[in-house]
Amino acid sequence: MKTRRSDRLVDMTNYLLTQPRKLVSLTQFAKRYDSAKSSISEDLSILKRTFQERGIGLLETLPGAAGGARFIPYMLPEEAQTFINELVDEVNDETRVLPGGYVFLSDLLGRPEILKRVGRLLATQYINEDIDAVMTAATKGVPVAQAVAQELNVPFVIVRNDSKITEGPTMSVNYLTGSSKRVEKMELSRRSLPTGSRVLVVDDFMKAGGTIKGMMSLVGEFEGTVVGAAVFAEGRVSERVVAKYTSLIHVDTLSSDGTGITVTPGNYETEVYENNNLND
Amino acid sequence: MKTRRSDRLVDMTNYLLTQPRKLVSLTQFAKRYDSAKSSISEDLSILKRTFQERGIGLLETLPGAAGGARFIPYMLPEEAQTFINELVDEVNDETRVLPGGYVFLSDLLGRPEILKRVGRLLATQYINEDIDAVMTAATKGVPVAQAVAQELNVPFVIVRNDSKITEGPTMSVNYLTGSSKRVEKMELSRRSLPTGSRVLVVDDFMKAGGTIKGMMSLVGEFEGTVVGAAVFAEGRVSERVVAKYTSLIHVDTLSSDGTGITVTPGNYETEVYENNNLND
């Protein structure tokens, strides 16, 4: 059944948005709507323009009869700034400070409308990178990993400290926790990650960066490549064991009495938008 | 700037899809597009028809000048059946069986295209229920919780066995693991869940149901109401401690030697579509 343009526009928008980074060919669309490729091409120009004007993301179109379109999640710098400022305001709250200078963030990392934007923001940074998988550490890194994996449309894998009997054979590494200098062990199910994968490492919170560094060495054990490291929040430390990373917010607490808190934007905007470091 | 219909259709689709279950008023749309409410109403009819015809979900429209529209994720029975059969085929693989009769599922629960459909399917069941939060147990329940929380557009909370210093004050309950009859403790940060919440309990895998039952009693400690319980997979057991739940797949392994596996659809389709138990 031939479809009307208006119906095609609605369905194509859903179809492309729910399959980020995947190329959909003109042929597929022409079949789906029983319409001429020339009409589909016109539809795609409308989508492209609206996606751009409304800050939804980029629609990459490949010309010609063998061409097609691919939706690439991308957040404009203005929206990113507004979002990061919102996060700063929400976290900048003395009641979030826990004994030892820890900060309560679990509520934010359980809210879909925040996670969706975290995912879009981190996907923006790696817009020009091939990524095969996202890696994180259990438990609180999982929501961040799932959010960005969804926008990149790749699987995510969960590294654990405790060996679970439901994971099968695992690969493990020892790592030094950056802050307390204890030696710990982290492991990942062998079956989770194909060898040679290009991996983005993410976590909810980074202090010295021991966990991130541990995950990076685990990627090495799987003969993979670390594409980058990104965290939701970073804390203040005297020395960091990870050189290159991005953070959305920076949280500073007075760990001695556990009351004061100072929250500022992390290095994301500087690293990504200002230095035009979109990894291209 | 007045917008063209085609541009409005594309943007409205994205706008509604990314905010499930939220009512967007005609006034909001009229302002966003500098267009008459009558034009917006016509746009919404187009969206409603296409969402329905393409199985994207339901668009609930409230008539009149004070009205608006709300996108409700809903999966048609045919798509649900196809999806569940796909899951059955993927899990029905002897190499997934681990010693002790456990089954490796982490790869599936790390794939965005699977999680998205798990979320839509579980949201379909509770289409007519008010839900304030989704609760799950760390670590492997998290992806399921996040997926359904996104479609319901409500927060999710993570119950843990180990007390973490970054969670602040917690509420805890003891529970009996159904299979091995050990007494364990699970806890949830006080700050995560407002008292009196209506909660959907989810997990990746249920054997006897001890963890699910523990979470239900934890909801009680927060003076909340359990709206339902749903799991990705259920195993075979002689006795279950939870009476009412839904599962997408049923997994049966021969735990003595750990090789044979039989996977069948869970009770979801029977409970939800056949009994028309859409909780209305």
* Mean pLDDT, rounded, of chain A: 93
Q: Residues 158..187 of A with a Cβ closer than 8 Å to B: which?
A: 158, 160, 165-168
Residue at a domain's end among A48, A73, A98: A73
Range of the domain at A204: 77-274
Helix/strand/coil (H/E/C) assignment for every residue in B31-80: HHHCCCHHHHHHHHHHHHHHHHHCCCEEEEEECCCCCEEEEEECCCHHHH
Give CA–CA dist A147/A75, Å, rounded: 14
Cβ of A165 and B5 within 8 Å?
no
Check whether residue A181 and residue A135 sit in a common domain: yes
Question: What percent of the residues of chain B are helix, what percent strand, and what percent coil, each to the nearest 5?
Answer: 40, 25, 35
Cβ of B46 and A6 within 8 Å?
yes
pLDDT > 90: percent of chain A:
84
Cβ of A139 and B138 within 8 Å?
yes
Residue B212 lies in a domain: yes
Check whether residue A166 and residue A247 sit in a common domain: yes
pLDDT > 70: percent of chain B:
95
Q: Residues 30..89 of B with a Cβ closer than 8 Å to A: which?
A: 46-47, 49-51, 53-54, 56
Measure Cα distances from B186 to A270, B28, B123 in Å: 41, 44, 26
Cβ of A9 and B9 within 8 Å?
yes
Cis peptide before A270 (omega within 30 of 0): no
Asked whether residue B256 carries a pLDDT value surpassing 60, the answer given is: no
Looking at CA atoms only, how far is residue B162 from chain A in angstroms? 11
Residue at a domain's end among A45, A73, A101: A73
Q: Is B21 on the interface with A (CB under 8 A)?
A: no
User: Residue B137: what pLDDT?
Assistant: 97
Residue A49 lies in a domain: yes
Measure Cα distances from A45 to A52, A150, B32 in Å: 11, 25, 21
Q: Is B279 exposed, middle or buried (0-12, 13-18, 19+ CB in 10 A)?
A: exposed
Looking at CA atoms only, how far is residue B100 from chain A in angstroms? 8
CA atoms within 13 A on the CB side of A155: 15
Residue A280 lies in a domain: no
Give CA–CA dist A270/B2, Å, rounded: 35
Compute the CA torsion angle A200, B106, A206, A87 (nearest 10 deg): 90
Neighbours of A225 (CB within 10 A): 14
Tell me, what CATH number does B19's domain have? 1.10.10.10
Check whether residue B13 and residue B91 sit in a common domain: no
Q: How many domains does chain A have?
A: 2
Looking at CA atoms only, how far is residue A269 from chain B in angstroms? 24
* Mean pLDDT, rounded, of chain B: 93
Check whether residue A90 and residue A67 sit in a common domain: no
Q: What is the DSSP string of B201-267?
A: EEEEEESS-HHHHHHHHHHHHTT-EEEEEEEEEEE--S--S-SS-EEEEEEEE-TTTT--EEEEE-S
Give the nearest partner residue to B139 out of A112, A160, A205, using CB atoms: A160
Residue A279 lies in a domain: no
Residue B98 lies in a domain: yes
Give CA–CA dist B86/B249, Å, rounded: 10
Residue at a domain's end among A42, A73, A104: A73
Inter-residue contact B80 to B121 (CB < 8 Å): yes
Residue type, B168: G
Looking at CA atoms only, how far is residue A102 from chain B in angstroms? 6
Check whether residue A30 and residue A84 sit in a common domain: no
Cβ of B192 and A51 within 8 Å?
no
Partners of B153 on chain A (C-beta within 8 Å) are: 112-113
Partners of A202 on chain B (C-beta within 8 Å) are: none
For residue A57, list its beta bridge partners: A73
Residue type, A19: Q
Q: What is the DSSP string of A108-144?
A: GGG-HHHHHHHHHHHHHHTTTS---EEEEETTTTHHH
Q: Is B199 exposed, middle or buried (0-12, 13-18, 19+ CB in 10 A)?
A: buried
Largest CA distance in chain B: 70
Of the candidates A90, A84, A135, the residue with the CA atom closest to the CA atom of residue A108: A90
Cis peptide before B211 (omega within 30 of 0): no
User: Residue A137: what pLDDT?
Assistant: 97
Cβ of B139 and A140 within 8 Å?
no
Q: What is the pLDDT of residues B163-190, one digit of tens each?
A: 677 788 999 999 998 777 799 999 999 9
Check whether residue A93 and residue A129 sit in a common domain: yes
Q: What is the pLDDT of residues A89-139, one digit of tens each?
A: 999 999 999 887 789 999 999 999 999 999 999 999 999 999 999 999 999
Give the nearest partner residue to B10 out of A50, A155, A191, using CB atoms: A50
Check whether residue B243 and residue B192 sit in a common domain: yes
Tokens at B150, concatenated: 């996104």
Measure Cα distances from A72 to A20, A22, A77, B11, B32 in Å: 6, 8, 16, 16, 24
Partners of A18 on chain B (C-beta within 8 Å) are: 116
Partners of A166 on chain B (C-beta within 8 Å) are: 98, 102-106, 140, 205
Check whether residue B42 and residue B25 sit in a common domain: yes
Check whether residue A111 and residue A218 sit in a common domain: yes
Cβ of A146 and B142 within 8 Å?
yes
Inter-residue contact B209 to B250 (CB < 8 Å): no
Residue B279 lies in a domain: no
Residue A103 lies in a domain: yes
User: Residue B66: what pLDDT?
Assistant: 79
Q: Mean per-residue pLDDT for A13-41? A: 97
Tokens at A47, concatenated: 């989508």
Looking at CA atoms only, how far is residue B148 from chain A in angstroms? 10
Give CA–CA dist B191/B149, Å, rounded: 18
Check whether residue B226 and residue B252 sit in a common domain: yes
User: Residue B101: what pLDDT?
Assistant: 79
For residue B231, list its beta bridge partners: B203, B247
Complex-level ipTM beyond the 0.90 threshold: yes
Residue B280 lies in a domain: no
Check whether residue A64 and residue A115 sit in a common domain: no
Check whether residue A112 and residue A170 sit in a common domain: yes
Q: What is the pLDDT of residues B17-62, one digit of tens each?
A: 999 999 999 999 999 999 999 999 999 999 999 999 999 999 999 9
Cβ of B112 and A153 within 8 Å?
yes
Tokens at B9, concatenated: 């259709």
Give CA–CA dist B203/B176, Å, rounded: 17
* Residue in chain A nearest B51 by alpha carbon: A11
Tell me, what CATH number does B103's domain have? 3.40.50.2020
Tokens at B244, concatenated: 């009412």
User: Residue A256: what pLDDT?
Assistant: 58
pLDDT > 90: percent of chain B:
84
